[in-house]
Structure 1
Amino acid sequence: MTARSALRRYMLVSFLTWLPVGLMVATMVLLMTARGLSLAEVGLVVTVFSVVTATLELPTGGLADVLGRRVVLAVSAAFTVAALALIAVSTTFWMFLISGVLKGVARALSSGPATSWYVDTLHGIEGRDADLRPGLARGGAMESVALCVGVLAGGGLPLLAPAQVIFPLAAPPLVGATAAAVLLVVVLIAMPEPAHARRSLPGVLREVPGTVGAGLRLAAGAPVLRRMTAAAAASGVVLCSIELLTPGRLAELAGTAERGSLAYAVVSALGFASSAAGSALAPRVARLAGGSARGSARGSAGGAIAGTVLAALSVGALAATAGLGGPAGLVSAGLAYMTLFVGLSVAGLLCLEMTHNAVSSAERTTVTSTSSLSLQTGGVVANLTLGALAGQAGTGVAWAGAALVVLASALLFVRMPAPTGSSRSAAPRARSHSG
């Protein structure tokens, strides 16, 4: 396999992994309420999904490092097929709750294996000093493109589905299940891993706790990884502030909940497109910040600072314009939303590069799962604080608080330490396939 072939496969898998998620963004809540769930029950389904995902992040990351990236991502695709097919036919709270559990398992399993596969494959082709930045940027861009295409398609599918054949709001999960089935086939065919010795399932499972423990010790002990984990938590705060407060703000500006829902779908699609642009721009931003064509730590840290500051200023703009009404408020909110996702994507891509450069193959997915868990933890903290703050002091104050958190996180990239110790030691070639 060549580096170009590996990149094409990684981009395709990245797109297909996030397409089902995008398809469900616009209609998920509407489908559950149309099937009789109250908003409290909808919130409980979403909470169960989040708890399952967070609980399984590290064990599934360790499983991917022990068993292999391809098999874990294939199992994730299978769980996604089952979850979305169940959502399409669910008529009760308990059916939706089970689908939330299945989705949580799928999300946890999909966190990291594709990127780890690409990094390991590129290292095998070009060596440990291979430039990860361009490939990771294109993979991140494809994820954002998938979300953008998915949210637009998911919002339009109910209008095209024949009501006499299918419940219109069930069309997006059915198409999402089909996309996940395609992902399953692609993963099994297009993600070859080096052959490894047969091992029993109990033997594999016994290795997972040790791998998770080693990854956690590495994430806590390596200065670079500690900073990346803290940065992920700050990103979780700002993302939650957007997801929690933007729909209500747009509904207020648009005049009705229905118009607000349409405005949120359009703004979300623009945000995902902006995220794709940010991923594509990240390598250039890093070079302008002091790096080289073949990424340097200085350039990555400088680019992350630039992206983080841009994100903080964007959330600050949302806070500053929270009092505007009518078209001016809608346009300003949309522009700030787009700029925010450019900044977050630039910073996130460069953080991903620094993380992968600081670990070996043996713990790669576990460490990336640690970052994902930290991001979700930041989101939980924001959920518990920003909603109450917005209710007491207003949306603008809550956004201002989120902006300060993100701005402070830019300090994490100042004088970034060089990776040292085991986090820079090359993994033995026998384990480059992670298991």
Structure 2
Amino acid sequence: MPLEDHPLRYRLANELHARPFPEIAAPAQAIFIAIKQPKDAAKRDRDLDRAHLLALLDRFGADHPAPDATHFFGDLGKFQLKWEQHTEFVTYTAFLPANGERPFDPAAWEVFPEDWLSRAPGVRITSAHIRVDAAPSDQAVIAASINDWMVPESLAVSNVLDGTAVIAGDFRIDSNGHMRFAVFCQADTGSRRIGRIVQRICEIETYKAMSMLGLPPSRDIANRMAEMDESLVQIVADMTGDLAKPEETLSQLLALAAELERLQTESAFRFGATGAYEALVNQRIEVLREERFMGRQTFGEFMMRRYDPAMRTIKATERRLLSMTERAIRAGDLLRTRVDVDRSAQNQALLESMDKRADLQLRLQKTVEGLSVVAISYYAVNLVVYLLGPLAEPLAVPKSWLTAMTVIPVVLAVWWTIGAIRRSMDK
């Protein structure tokens, strides 16, 4: 078409198909591992994850993915490999075309060489061994098998996708260090549907593990908040009485608020990621359309009893941290207002004392002005007497009379002059 395409049109359209589901035919098994770098997502080096993938592909002579690819699916001979790069972690899934004679045989993990695993740029966040079998006609056989393979106390089993398969898992780490899941498929279940079921199980386990990372820091923060809450309550209680040192109390309160802000900033990403992963876990379980199998608890019920309390703890800690931060800020505002009021009262008292001192200075100034009139007049009278002295003899006026006659005019003149100077300065 002559119409020009948006530069991102094909890239955005292909993004919908960038992570296809695998096609699995029973019997089969999936070897899954998720690796997370021990760094924050912002500081994570994605090139190390890609280099680790290429090292595995080179061992089997497989083609490399595109330089900016976040997904890879290819045939490595004895098995198929699926690699996905996520925000915080990478996942490797090996699909083997058959099950071993021994259920959950650890020899299946030899698809990932030990020396290659030892050079992984991160740590294992979870790993799972998924066994896919054809479903026997007798459900009791399924129940007996999963009871032998897994821990019955925490076992979750359910019919999924309108009864086309039965999935089971106990969400426990076995002696080999992996989670165990089993999938029993009906004879008419397609390979793509089986692949989607296996993919959902891997996602549920991975997102569950990632969301649980928020539990340890939430407990640490809760313990620290319990200590800080006592200090905050004491400070607020002291504010209702007379504070001996309000500035010092304000400094303590601001330090408390600053630490709460630090805790909130440091935990914001982890708590936010936990909420996102929890939503994905619930969504993946919902799309499986679970139905009860022989009275056993479903995956959804297991999560409600074992998983949801941890998520509620994290959410409660997050809400409490936010509430406590707001309380500290409000208390700081109130104390700051009280300090401002006290300072205003001090300033008012200071202004009143300054007014008194100004009044005293004015009185002193007037007294000094009176003394100045006397002093200046004394010298002015002498000058006038010296000036008019030669005229006193011809007029036969005694010097004492001449002095007496000049005193009053000179004093009035000096008084008027000083008053005029003061009035001009006041203007």
- The TM-score by the shorter chain falls in which range? under 0.3
Larger Rg over CA atoms: 2
Name the structure with the higher strand share: 2
Superposition TM-score, scaled by structure 1 size:
0.26
Name the structure with the higher helix share: 1
Greater relative contact order (Cα 8 A, min sep 6): structure 1 or 2? Answer: 1
